[in-house]
Amino acid sequence: MNGSAKGKAVHFDDRHLHVELKDGRVISTPIHWYPELQSATLRQVGNYSFICRGTGIEWPDLDYHLSIESMLAYSDERQVA
């Protein structure tokens, strides 16, 4: 990945974190990979903003940050293991 993965929207369901990218792709990863998000309230996970020119996500109520690039790498790493 060349650093161009920029977020457009974040969605959750009971099993996954979904990040819609500006280029139309959607990344979905298991929510249990992110214990801070899994144990948070709906209000807390719904309060997010994109940071670093859209390449990261911040949940200020949780003091939690997630890089979209690392999310993609983490997903690839998990699939290989």
The average pLDDT across 1-19 equals: 86
Structural domains in the chain, CATH included, are 7-80 (3.30.2020.40)
Q: Please, is 75 exposed, middle or buried when counting C-beta atoms within 10 Å of its C-beta (0-12, 13-18, 19+)?
A: middle
CA dihedral 9, 14, 67, 79 (to 10 degrees): -120
Q: What is the predicted pLDDT for the residue at 73?
A: 82
pLDDT at 72: 84
What predicted TM-score, i.e. pTM, was given to this entire model? 0.83
Position 71 scores a pLDDT of 84
pLDDT digit string (tens) for 43-53?
999 999 999 99
